[in-house]
């Protein structure tokens, strides 16, 4: 790293984590002439398959983390469940972007919600839960139905239980493993939105607009960009996302997920301090993808243009598609405006993200129709 903080092409970037987000980051980095090292407990990983070096070590092996960080110019992470102590150990040897403090705040729902509340940002009413008794009290105060979520290590609907009536409380408490959790009030909403944005060390801010998200079983199913939402809601979502990134002093990419309520107001659902599933369309549809943007911010380069070249829709490919054999890739890719991305995961399992499809079209309606049709073709002959 130079004295001015720039990490120039030819340097080596370290990635903590080794999933598909790291894979697409590594592709962007190698295209710009950087080398990539990745560290995770796993082998033959999505990131490791395209990185220059894959290091297999536990995140709590802090000596291994320090050796890893000593061999690179800067470290970033591709998922927020890397322990904060791991980020701190890496920071002893080189810069970590976003900072370990951002990771510490956003990897724990209670810390995240406390931060949002103290910053005056809108969020769903919630209560901390640490026992069945406190869960009953929280349910009384907030009313039911509600959503009980583990305070840590939750994503893609994992560690979440819908509580309809008092009769569900004991089963939900058992379901979260009887550990610290959050009970959130259930708020009827019109749609779910996300804003993926980037912030540089000098405070520059760019964003990819409000993306419309459709979930199935707590997992993102389809993302539509630009989102089909009122202009004022889109403007407000971007403004709130900027507040979040500035309050956290993020250097890198962060996604803010929202509920758009029936009265037109917004509530923040969750934060993700890295590229996000709902921003995968940017790999194909934007001048600068969210992954290149993460690279630019991490390395101190100017942020790139976020201009979207055309409307897009992204559909996740889960392991369920392999239930009756290999999907029909030729049928799906017969649609010339559909792009296929597979993550290199060898073992498809129900609910596991194996890849995605992105359709590019003159309108969002056409993009949505095409990506839906392409995914349907994958299993039509099985």
113: tokens are 């919600």
With both helix axes pointing from N to C terminus, report the angle between 84-91 and 62-70 in degrees, rounded to the nearest 10.
40
Domain boundaries, the chain: 12-96, 125-185, 189-377
Sign for the CA dihedral angle at 152, 157, 158, 159 comes to: positive
Instruction: Compute the average pLDDT of residues 117-127.
Output: 95
DSSP 237-303: HHHHHHHHHHHHT--EEEEEEEEEETTS-EEEEEEESS--GGGTTHHHHBSS-HHHHHHHHHHTPPP
* pLDDT of 187: 86
Q: What confidence category does residue 1 fall into, taking pLDDT thresholds of 50, 70 and 90?
A: low
Vertex 25: Cα angle to 67 and 292 (nearest 5): 120
Tell me if 354 sits within 8 A of 319, measured CB to CB.
yes
Q: What is the pLDDT of residues 348-358, one digit of tens each?
A: 999 999 999 99
> Does pLDDT of 80 surpass 60?
yes
CATH number of 12-96, picked from 3.40.50.20, 3.30.70.260, 3.40.50.620, 3.40.50.300: 3.40.50.20
Q: What is the pLDDT of residues 317-327, one digit of tens each?
A: 999 999 999 99
Q: Is 189-377 in the same CATH topology as 125-185?
A: no
* pLDDT of 218: 86
What fold characterizes domain 125-185? Dna Ligase; domain 1 (3.30.1490)
Least confident of 151-155, 197-201, 306-310: 151-155
Q: Tokens 């903590």: give the residue.
A: 16
Enumerate residues 6+ apart whose C-beta is below 8 A from 221. Answer: 214, 215, 315, 316
Cα–Cα distance for residue pair 106/272, rounded to 1 Å: 7
* pLDDT of 81: 84
Cα–Cα distance for residue pair 318/219, rounded to 1 Å: 10
Average pLDDT score over the chain: 95
Q: What is the pLDDT of residues 45-73, one digit of tens each?
A: 999 999 999 999 999 999 999 999 999 99
Cα–Cα distance for residue pair 254/222, rounded to 1 Å: 19
Cα–Cα distance for residue pair 111/271, rounded to 1 Å: 11
Reported pTM: 0.95
Q: Tokens 């070249």: give the residue.
A: 309
Q: What is the pLDDT of residues 248-289, one digit of tens each?
A: 999 999 999 999 999 999 999 999 999 999 999 999 999 999
**Looking at residue 167, what DSSP letter applies?**
G
Phi-psi region at 120: left, alpha or beta (left = phi > 0; alpha = psi -120 to 50): left
Sign for the CA dihedral angle at 23, 25, 29, 32 comes to: positive
Q: What confidence category does residue 160 fall into, taking pLDDT thresholds of 50, 70 and 90?
A: confident
Cα–Cα distance for residue pair 240/119, rounded to 1 Å: 11
First to last CA, the chain: 53
Give, in words, the CATH class of 189-377.
alpha beta
Strand pairing category for 266-272 and 205-216: unpaired
> Does pLDDT of 5 surpass 90?
no
Q: What confidence category does residue 158 fall into, taking pLDDT thresholds of 50, 70 and 90?
A: low
């Amino acid at each position: 790293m130079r004295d001015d903080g720039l990490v120039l092409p030819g340097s080596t970037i370290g990635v903590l984590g080794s999933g598909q987000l790291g894979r697409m980051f590594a592709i962007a980095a190698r295209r710009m002439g950087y080398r990539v090292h990745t560290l995770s407990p796993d082998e033959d990983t999505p990131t490791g398959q395209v990185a220059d070096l894959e290091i297999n070590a536990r995140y709590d092996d802090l000596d291994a983390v320090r050796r890893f960080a000593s061999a690179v110019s800067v470290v970033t992470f591709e998922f927020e469940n890397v322990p904060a102590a791991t980020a701190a150990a890496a920071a002893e040897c080189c810069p970590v972007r976003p900072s370990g403090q951002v990771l510490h705040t956003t990897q724990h729902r209670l810390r995240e919600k406390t931060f949002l509340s103290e910053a005056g940002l809108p969020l769903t009413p919630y209560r901390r839960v640490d026992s069945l008794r406190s869960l009953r009290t929280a349910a009384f105060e907030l009313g039911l139905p509600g959503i009980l979520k583990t305070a840590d290590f939750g994503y893609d609907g994992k560690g979440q239980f819908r509580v309809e009536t008092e009769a569900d409380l004991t089963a939900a408490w058992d379901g979260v493993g009887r550990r610290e959790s959050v009970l959130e009030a259930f708020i009827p909403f019109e749609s779910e939105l996300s804003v993926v944005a980037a912030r540089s060390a000098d405070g520059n801010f760019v964003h990819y607009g409000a993306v419309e998200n459709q979930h199935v079983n707590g997992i993102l199913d389809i993302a539509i960009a630009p989102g089909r939402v009122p202009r004022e809601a889109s403007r407000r979502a971007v403004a709130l996302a900027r507040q979040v990134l500035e309050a956290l002093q993020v250097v890198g990419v962060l996604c803010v997920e929202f509920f758009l309520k029936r009265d037109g107001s917004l509530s923040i659902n969750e934060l993700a301090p890295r590229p996000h599933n709902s921003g995968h369309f940017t790999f194909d549809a934007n001048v600068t993808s969210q992954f290149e943007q993460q690279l630019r911010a991490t390395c101190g380069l100017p942020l790139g243009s976020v201009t979207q070249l055309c409307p897009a829709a992204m559909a996740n490919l889960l392991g369920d598609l392999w239930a009756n054999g290999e999907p029909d890739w030729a049928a799906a890719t017969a649609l010339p405006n559909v792009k296929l991305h597979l993550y290199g995961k060898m073992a498809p399992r129900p609910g596991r993200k194996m890849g995605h499809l992105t359709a590019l079209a003159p309108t969002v309606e056409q993009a949505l129709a095409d990506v839906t049709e392409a995914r349907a073709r994958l299993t039509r002959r099985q």
